Amino acid sequence: MKFVDEARINVIAGDGGNGALGFRREKYIPRGGPDGGDGGDGGSVFLRATQSLNTLADFRHQRTYLAQRGENGRGQNCSGAGGKDCIVEVPVGTVATDRETGQVIADLQRAGQMVEVARGGWHGLGNARFKSSTNQAPRKTTDGTPGERRELLLELRVLADVGLLGLPNAGKSTLIRQVSSARPKVADYPFTTLHPNLGVVSIEAHRSFVMADIPGLIEGAAEGHGLGVRFLKHLSRTRLLLHLVDVLPVDETDPVTGAVAVVNELKKHSEPLFAKERWLVLNKTDLLPADEREAHCAAIIRGLDWTGPVYQVSAVTGAGTRALCADIMNRLERLHEEDAVSDTSAIAETLAAEETPSDDA
């Protein structure tokens, strides 16, 4: 199934019901006083994350979602029923942005999480509400307020542990095919990857991680050139980035120049993404003569002034990929342990603060 990562929808909350104008009229009680009831509140629109969806494809067919209007009030002090809420299910990892203001109003990262994106209108008041000692027969009522209306941009940001970064034809799709069961399109021309691909890399029983293959970046991507910048947001959730560099490009361009261009576009797009942990993966080393391989790779590392982890692999033959994936798994496990310790410390600090008696006590 094609990965659909963006959709635009309109959400319209229900209007509040109007208040009623009424007076009690019964036998032997000709002037029973006002008894107009309030209207009901309008229904709201919610987004709810679910694991049963993995794309935003369904939103191409239905773009408008309506909550129910609140009922009007009635006589005998009967309030109108509240409108039924509208719950829109979206895939886990969906971010909803108000298109008018640009404000992010929902970031759904776990199944079952639900966020209100359009609030229903407030109920109108019936004339019974306005009765007083000086006005025993009020004819005043109020109408319900309109429900909120929004146009939302939905973006599905893939939830991957590791993201692949690099120029078109750097070998990202080939690598993910080599180390996982994912089968993205592979060809000898640029931009064969037109949408993100996910692959589960299994190391052994109960030890695996998710890798994301993102369309390649070109120089000027931050200004809208090429395809990769559209998908850079997917990398924001990853724990680790692998920067793939083709050690012997077919167009004979300098690998260092291309790698620097990718890093510059990454920095222009997002400083937090630029600061994320990155490993250098020198790919297609099988194309180099064995006696020149080390010197050629060392020149690239020096040219990039790289001080982080470096791996030499061949995504086609699989050489070096097993060691790379094993080290990735170990690093991710350490990061998960650090997160667990951090969460435990935060909980302990919160509990300690709650137990500490205040100065006013």
CATH of the domain at 186: 3.40.50.300
Higher per-residue confidence, 199 vs 178? 178
What is the reported pLDDT for 115? 95
The pLDDT mean for the chain works out to 83
In a domain, 53, yes or no: yes
The Cα angle at residue 66 between residues 159 and 144, in degrees rounded to 5:
125
pTM over 0.75: no
Dump pLDDT digits (tens) for 149-181: 999 999 887 667 898 888 888 888 889 888 887
Q: Could you write out the DSSP letters of every residue in 218-272?
A: -TTGGGT-SSHHHHGGGGGG-SEEEEEEESS-TT---HHHHHHHHHHHHHHH-HH
**What pLDDT, on a 0 to 100 scale, did the predictor assign at position 343?**
60
Same domain, 140 and 167: no
Beta bridge partners of 222: none
Tell me the one-letter amino acid at 132. Answer: S
Same domain, 136 and 184: no
Q: How many CB atoms lie within 10 A of CB 78?
A: 16
Mean pLDDT calculated for residue range 253-272: 85
Phi, then psi, of 166 in degrees rounded to 5: 165, 175
CA distances 111 to 47, 49, 212, 218, 286, Å, are 11, 5, 20, 35, 43
In a domain, 333, yes or no: yes
Q: Looking at the structure, do residues 112 and 36 belong to the same domain, yes or no?
A: yes
Q: What are 13's two structure tokens?
A: 């909350």
Residues 197, 330, single domain; the answer is yes
Is the dihedral angle over the CA atoms 263, 257, 252, 320 positive or is it negative?
A: negative
Residue 288 lies in a domain: yes
Residues 145 and 172 in one domain: no
Q: What is the pLDDT of residues 130-156, one digit of tens each?
A: 998 888 889 999 999 999 999 999 988
Beta bridge partners of 240: 162
pLDDT at 96: 93
Residues 142 and 174 in one domain: no
Instruction: State the residue range of the domain holding 297.
Output: 162-340
Are 135 and 191 part of one and the same domain? no
